[in-house]
Amino acid sequence: MDAYEAGPDAGHGRDEPGESAGTPDPEEAPRSALAALSLPYQLGAALAVAVVGVAACFHLGMVFLHVAPSNTATKEHTRTIDDWIYPEFEQNWKLFAPNPLQQNVAVEVRADVRTADGGARTTGWYDLSAQDGEAIDGNPMPSHTQQNELRRAWDFLLASHDAENRPSGLRGALAEQYLRRIVLMRLDREGAAGPDGTIDRVQVRSRSTNVRPPEWSQEQVSETPTYRVLSWWPVPDDEAAEATGAAGATKGEGS
């Protein structure tokens, strides 16, 4: 006989999390599955209760300290917390907090192109974020490629570079290669190199414009954009070819 089925569990409908449903007199209830077990199994069950309970509380404690502001406990136990949280339990819920972003940050790119006849030219600036914006306009389901790809690649680059645009560590190097590959793919889609040209090097900059304060507010903000200009990045030959291939493969796909 399975004890689970024997239990007075007609109260399933009331098993609502977050709400304590009062059960009828517990002393009148038949003995539980736990009580029906022999001692060794009871000890096993008790151990399970302890282990599962401690594990759940420990996990929640770690997550709490991970999302909490830096404090006495987090400073003392940084290693323990990070070891537990990374890589799979990482999380960030500062959604539009403490302040929402108040600037439109556009990522732009231009390229030095070598033409087939040996000539060279520099293209104008391509506003890649404006292209994203166009793809998002009127789109009920924007793709991550339009909404996150370039935006987050730029954030990643800023986070892994100092104010003088010098990369720091592995992440800095990865961020540069990533952004370079994105802009190459986009330039290729635009046909920036022309029919026979190849892209020698690219330059990326950001243009940040303040979001205009609401009409009903008296606040004044500058409307002139500020730029952050990175240095020219040479394009490795294999990557130029690869970018062409990748873009060719995705060309013609609807958004």
**Interactions with another protein, residue window 103-132 (CB under 8 A):** 104, 106, 129-130, 132
**Interactions with another protein, residue window 144-173 (CB under 8 A):** 144-145, 147-149, 151-153, 156, 170-171
Binding-residue total with another protein (CB under 8 A): 103
Q: From the CB of 119, what's the least distance to another protein, in Å?
A: 29
DSSP track, 158-186: HHTB-TT--B-HHHHHHHHHHHHHHHHHH
Work out the angle at residue 32's Cα, subtended by the Cα atoms of residues 28 and 33, and round it to the nearest 5 degrees: 160
- Told to check if 174 binds another protein by CB under 8 A, we report yes
In this chain, which stretch among 111-119, 135-143, 196-204, 224-232 interacts with another protein, using CB under 8 A? 135-143
**Interactions with another protein, residue window 176-215 (CB under 8 A):** 177-178, 181-182, 185, 211-215
- Using CA atoms, how far residue 19 sits from 22, 27, 57, in Å, is 9, 22, 19
CB 106 within 8 A of CB 131: no
- Told to check if 59 binds another protein by CB under 8 A, we report yes
CB 37 within 8 A of CB 45: yes
Rounded Cα distance between 241 and 142, Å, is 29
**Interactions with another protein, residue window 23-42 (CB under 8 A):** 23, 26-27, 29, 32-34, 36-38, 41
Q: Which of 100, 118, 124, 195 binds another protein (CB under 8 A)?
A: 100
